[in-house]
Structure 1
Amino acid sequence: MSSLIHVVEDDRDHRLALCDLIEAAGYRAEPFAGGSEALAASSRPDLILTDLRMPGMDGQALLEAARDRDPDCPVVMISGHGDLAQAVQAMRAGAEDFLEKPYDGMHLLSVIERSLRSRAARAEIGRLQDRIARRDEGGLLGQSAAMSALRARIAAIGPTDLDVVITGETGTGKELVARALHEASARAAGPFIAVNCAALPESLFEIEIFGHVAGAFPGAQDKPGKLEAASGGTLMLDEVEAMPAAIQPKLLRALQERMVERLGENRLRPLDLRIIATSKADLRPLTLDGSFRADLFYRLAGTEITVEPLRALGDDIVLLFSHYAGLAAARYGREVPQLPYTLKQRLLRRPWPGNVRELKAVAERFALGLDIPEEAATPITEPESLAERVAAFEAREIRLALERCRGNTERAAKALGIARRTLNDKISRYGIRV
């Protein structure tokens, strides 16, 4: 069933026009002349679209009452000329967005679509909360094009038996992707064994990977290596770029033949496993300078997955922040804190060099009532003047348009109704990453 939108507007002609526009877009609209009528309705909306200035209960009071009744119901404000200060106050009180009259109908529909999508994303967090809390898979949540494409690629590659190389910055959730691939495969019931190639001393690497037999060295007993331990399942080679050069040809032979020879033994043991290698660096340039064997790379890279950094995920940043703050609040017996509008803007503009790992730590501090440390944040002066607020709003709309158009500036310019050259100038002015 299509989403239900409560339209609260005291001007009858405007109210009916809004309902016609909303229903033409495929939603259900229910009109109300005032806030009190909307609150008394038996139906429960998926979104409330309300004028700010109305006789009796105004939009601000309706916002507060609606959030008390259903904190997850998005409220979009429509403000008249001169009401901008009040609209900003409403945003800080929890309104999803606001539009200033006169507004463009297509822009209104895009705001409604985005708000409903955000609500659906929050509902997804609720449905998956227990599973994510147990397995910490929050990094795969999100509604952005990048996260949708990543989940689609996992769904396509997971059921195959191809070896995979996953590349991404530190903290982007490469291990979560590896585990998701394992769970999507026919090997899901088998073991998932992870080896950190950077943390394992070179002197122990061969023993840990290939195993040994009794008598191989003083005090040695029979012990299978990680390759054998992962038989029937998946072996993840984390930070594979740090693998010692002397081990690389031995691993290559084992993977080519799918056979392993334990240290101190002269017989081969069969291997039945899938290899998933993760790397912080692109392995191709490393094959050119000889620091990583090209033949091993091509053996590992049956296919490849690139995990986007957090700064490229747009509104998913706020979604993930809310998720981790909620987990921390539940863990420490605190109330789930509300995210003010200004904090959301800071989160979206922060570069997040530590990616999801950094975001999780910041969210936990926020849930405990600790402020985000200024030394860890990009210095940001919150917009105070009208020009600054308009610029912040414009930059956000451009980011959203680019997200919807998957970075295609020509399509984004058409969607925004501006020339492509003008869009490129604004992208440069606001420092937006395409």
Structure 2
Amino acid sequence: MSENNLQKMNLIYQGIIEQLDVGIHAVDEAGKTLIYNRKMCEMESMKKEDVLGKKIQDVFKFQENQESTLLHSLQNKKEILNVKQTYFNNRGIEITTVNKTLPIQENRQMVAAVEIATDVTKMEKLMRANKRTNDANLSFTQIIGQSGPLIEVIELAKRATRTNSNVLIVGETGTGKELFAQSIHHESDRATKPFVSQNCAALPDSLIESILFGTVRGAFTGALDSPGLFEQAQGGTLLLDELNSLNITLQAKLLRVIQEKKVRRLGATKEIDVDVRIIATMNEDPVDAIASGKLRKDLYFRLAVITVMVPALRERIDDLPVLLDYFISQYNQLFSMNVDGVSDEVFALFAAHNWPGNIRELEHAIEAAMNLMHHEREIMYEHLPYHYRKGDKGQHKLRPLKKNYSGQLLDQLAQFEQQVIEDTLRQNDNHITNSAQQLGLSRQSLQYRMKRLQIRGGE
């Protein structure tokens, strides 16, 4: 190949390396940096001139008993795959990456090592935030609401505080499943022991096994003696949030720990006895999760000794007034405001909304609206986020209200609700299931509302 073609090829290679969305860091046989691409600069908050031509150990600092995966690969002539590494740049900023590191040899002589790095710094911080011992003394009294469906679920959950049986909490995203889990723990005999929470969806498969079960020094490059979540929750409660996001293979290992009450750290030869109560949450129907292969049936039966079904906001819309008062009060304190409530128009819109994001969506709607207010005392229609005012396909538009409703606001809303349910039943020849589907309710929720409003009929 001519020198001109070689120059062109080098330019092409450099262009590709610079545009890759993963970090590329290569060192020569002496450990001095040869290649350091744009993405690596972003990940490590460094300039190229701070790294190129310099030895790794002169630029970066590593945790005690750890070393650079690049240097390890260079010195031991070994490929290192999917290893998490936490280290610090020259300004002390912490960086966490998952690396694939390859030795480069020529005639059996080491000439370089190259590392392909994926940034998981934010993921690591999120993981630490989720993997915590929660000391807040939360209880059922802090679950906001007085509706029939909610009170029924609270009473069921309270019974779970009397035993150490595992609990499965099922509910849509944003319904407050973790609040139920914490309440069960803090009103049980385990209240003085740790409550450790982990969102299974927040962890990549390459990390979650070591987080759950722990590691011993030398299990893989950079591994230290580290207790897993089961050991951290010893004597207390381990909350596994969004269990249906957990890899099926790991579900099998989790099942074994639950059955045998013993955990073995990665790389260890002996098992550790654990006394931990498991509370798991799911944001979909367990039967559907089993059918789609997301959840092992045997694990489900182990965890669902007690099953708590948290109702969606649309199924407990009677709690809307007290929830609005609660969130407005919270943001009044946070924003130093004096908002009294919402306008009749906003309340009616909220009462008719389907709330796919449930309580969390309602809280965000209040927060967003109060950010747009000045000195007004009520949240008005124009303060609402755009999608409530301009909902797709009219899904947020209000039904026309009759003019002959009387009494206070809640009385008028009850009259409106009764009218809508009676009209829908008539349209569906009193068929409960079809009417519930049209209204966006469960059959049970519609029957509860009919009983409360003394509406007869249905089949």
Q: Secondary structure at the match of 1:272?
A: coil
- Separation (CA, whole Å) in 2 of partners of 1:157 and 1:136: 13
1:259, CA displacement in angstroms? Answer: 0.3
| Corresponding residue pairs, total | 287
* Cα deviation 1:47-86 (Å, max 9, x = unaligned): xxxxxxxxxxxxxxxxxxxxxxxxxxxxxxxxxxxxxxxx
Q: 1:262 and 1:350, CA in 2 relative to 1: closer, same or farther beyond 3 A?
A: same
Query: Which position in structure 1 is the counterpart of 2:350?
Result: 347
Q: Secondary structure at the match of 1:198?
A: helix
Q: Any conservation in 1 of the 2:140–2:180 contact (CA below 8 Å)? A: no
| 1:254 corresponds to 2:241 | no
| 1:166 corresponds to 2:169 | yes
- Pick aligned residue for 2:387 from 347, 352, 375: 375
Q: Which moved more, 1:211-220 or 1:192-201?
A: 211-220
| 1:363 corresponds to 2:400 | no
* Cα deviation 1:117-170 (Å, max 9, x = unaligned): xxxxxxxxxxxxxxxx99798972111001111221121112210101111101
Q: Any conservation in 1 of the 2:324–2:341 contact (CA below 8 Å)? A: no
Question: For structure 1, which runs of at least 5 residues remain unmatched after alignment?
Answer: 1-132, 425-434
1:336, CA displacement in angstroms? Answer: 2.8
1:380, CA displacement in angstroms? Answer: 2.6
Q: 1:246 and 1:205, CA in 2 relative to 1: closer, same or farther beyond 3 A?
A: same
Query: Which position in structure 1 is the counterpart of 2:324?
Result: 321
Q: Which moved more, 1:137-146 or 1:173-182?
A: 137-146
* Cα deviation 1:20-43 (Å, max 9, x = unaligned): xxxxxxxxxxxxxxxxxxxxxxxx
Query: Which position in structure 2 is the counterpart of 1:395?
Result: 416
- Pick aligned residue for 2:289 from 275, 286, 289: 286
| 1:386 corresponds to 2:406 | no
- Separation (CA, whole Å) in 2 of partners of 1:413 and 1:160: 34
Matched AA of 1:339: V
- Separation (CA, whole Å) in 2 of partners of 1:247 and 1:202: 9
Q: Any conservation in 2 of the 1:236–1:276 contact (CA below 8 Å)? A: yes
Query: Which position in structure 2 is the counterpart of 1:60?
Result: none
Compute the TM-score of the two structures, normalised by the length of structure 2.
Answer: 0.56
| 1:238 corresponds to 2:241 | yes
- Pick aligned residue for 1:228 from 189, 213, 231: 231
Matched AA of 2:324: F
Matched AA of 1:152: E
Q: 1:164 and 1:229, CA in 2 relative to 1: closer, same or farther beyond 3 A?
A: same
- Pick aligned residue for 1:181 from 179, 184, 194: 184
| 1:333 corresponds to 2:345 | no
- Equivalent residue runs for 1:8-407 within 5 Å: 140-370=143-373, 371-376=383-388, 378-381=395-398, 383=400, 386=403, 394-397=415-418
* Cα deviation 1:287-318 (Å, max 9, x = unaligned): 23433211111111111011100011122012
Q: 1:328 and 1:391, CA in 2 relative to 1: closer, same or farther beyond 3 A?
A: closer
Greater strand proportion: 2
1:193, CA displacement in angstroms? Answer: 0.9
1:209, CA displacement in angstroms? Answer: 0.6
Q: 1:192 and 1:393, CA in 2 relative to 1: closer, same or farther beyond 3 A?
A: closer
- Separation (CA, whole Å) in 2 of partners of 1:411 and 1:349: 14
Query: Which position in structure 2 is the counterpart of 1:420?
Result: 457
Matched AA of 1:305: V
Greater gyration radius: 2
Question: For structure 2, which runs of at least 5 residues remain unmatched after alignment?
Answer: 1-135, 374-382, 390-394, 423-435
* Cα deviation 1:201-254 (Å, max 9, x = unaligned): 101111111101112122322110011111111111111001112211111111
1:329, CA displacement in angstroms? Answer: 1.0
Q: 1:138 and 1:318, CA in 2 relative to 1: closer, same or farther beyond 3 A?
A: farther
Query: Which position in structure 2 is the counterpart of 1:114?
Result: none
Q: Any conservation in 2 of the 1:141–1:147 contact (CA below 8 Å)? A: no
- Separation (CA, whole Å) in 2 of partners of 1:151 and 1:283: 20
Q: 1:252 and 1:366, CA in 2 relative to 1: closer, same or farther beyond 3 A?
A: same
Q: Any conservation in 2 of the 1:326–1:367 contact (CA below 8 Å)? A: no
Q: Any conservation in 1 of the 2:139–2:184 contact (CA below 8 Å)? A: no
Compute the TM-score of the two structures, normalised by the length of structure 1.
Answer: 0.59
Percent identity reads 33
Q: Any conservation in 2 of the 1:211–1:226 contact (CA below 8 Å)? A: yes
